[in-house]
Structure 1
Amino acid sequence: MAKKKKPGSNTIAQNRKARHDFFITDRFEAGVALAGWEVKALRAGRGQLTESYVIFNKNEAWLLGAQISPLPQASTHFVTEPTRTRKLLMHRRELDKLLEATTQKGHTIVATALYWKNHLVKCEVAIAKGKQQHDKRQTEKEKDWNKQKQRIMSADNR
């Protein structure tokens, strides 16, 4: 008899602030080089991406600002650093595209999500361009209008 998967999502953490502050254009999947205590902490849901972004050093991508809080059991055995820089594992072509995008004015690379893919932790990184205040207001108006349309449509279907 086969085991059933647990209901729920495989998402560990999302960066909702990035979707509010930036126009997201291209998305890429990257592996993350983690220590053992970090994987255990992520299984317990202790990851956060709110202020995270990607930098390049010697043609390698590094994730900055992602916080993984250690479990109390792991913090007694290891020197834990919750906000250390973590290496992103990507193909050379993807790294070249990201590096090219960062040279354009106003573009940056942000981490939008951490999730499980089988037994591995993956990070979704995206090329983003900053929104100005009037763009943020326009996005809020569109979101409110879409909610209102859904309410009207559901009221008509009753």
Structure 2
Amino acid sequence: MSKKPSKDKANGATATKTIALNKRARHEYHLEERYEAGVALQGWEVKAIRAGRANIVDGYAYVRSGEIFLIGAQITPLIQASSHTIPEERRTRKLLLHRREIDKVLSSVERDGYTLVPTALYWSNNKIKLEIALAKGKQNHDKRDAAKDRDWQRDKQRVMRRHNRDA
């Protein structure tokens, strides 16, 4: 991954705040490697993101001519935003990674069945970052198995709680 978020000097906590999550990605894909990428945005997009008008659920990333782009992510413009340009909600946005990370992602995506999906959009030290994951699509039986395991873990915790309460 890229640089770790720096520590806040006052209390030692990292200065990150989540803007948008893609929970559907965990359900529909096996997520493997994760990368932190910067996003090349226009001014009206930053204002809209500050207002909480970002959605990355339908987005995906692809590699073209040695660069990585985000497609399908929606940033709804504010009414008063940008009178000199026409805001486009679902425009293609360039992702900013180091060259060696792009090369690594490119070699991984070329494998059969792999894609790049955005998993989180967040603030990191006053910069907007996007977490993208190398992912392989799940089949329906994989999704059912994951739901069955989740239900079993929940039932097991419930039984343990009940058993500990009685003891």
Q: Same fold (TM over 0.5)?
A: yes
Q: Distance in 2 between matches of 1:147 and 1:92?
A: 43
Query: Is residue 123 of structure 1 aligned with residue 130 of structure 2?
Result: yes
Q: Which residue of 2 aligns with 1:142?
A: 149
Q: Distance in 1 between matches of 2:82 and 2:144?
A: 43
Q: Distance in 2 between matches of 1:155 and 1:94?
A: 48
Q: Which residue of 2 aligns with 1:27?
A: 34
Match of 2:23 among 16, 25, 30: 16
Q: Which residue of 2 aligns with 1:69?
A: 76
1:1-158 to 2 correspondences below 5 Å: 10-74=17-81, 76-158=83-165
Q: For each residue in 1:28-78, what CA deviation from the matched residue of structure 2 results, as whole angstroms up to 9, or x when unmatched?
A: 000001111111111111100111111111100000011000111105453
Ranges in structure 2 where 5+ consecutive residues have no aligned partner: 1-9
Q: For each residue in 1:85-139, what CA deviation from the matched residue of structure 2 results, as whole angstroms up to 9, or x when unmatched?
A: 0000001111011101111111111111100101000000110011101000000
Q: Which residue of 1 aligns with 2:5?
A: none
- Counterpart residue identity of residue 105, structure 1: D
CA drift of 1:152 comes to: 2.1
Higher alpha-carbon deviation: 35-44 or 9-18: 9-18
Instruction: With the length of structure 1 as denominator, give the TM-score of the two structures.
Output: 0.90
Tell me, what secondary structure is at the counterpart of 1:74?
coil
Q: Distance in 1 between matches of 2:51 and 2:151?
A: 34
Ranges in structure 1 where 5+ consecutive residues have no aligned partner: none
Change in Cα spacing, 1:59 to 1:157, as seen in structure 2 (3 Å) is same
Instruction: With the length of structure 2 as denominator, give the TM-score of the two structures.
Output: 0.86
Tell me, what secondary structure is at the counterpart of 2:123?
strand
Q: For each residue in 1:5-47, what CA deviation from the matched residue of structure 2 results, as whole angstroms up to 9, or x when unmatched?
A: xxxx711111111111100000000000111111111111110
Higher alpha-carbon deviation: 73-82 or 128-137: 73-82
CA drift of 1:157 comes to: 3.3
Corresponding pairs, count: 152
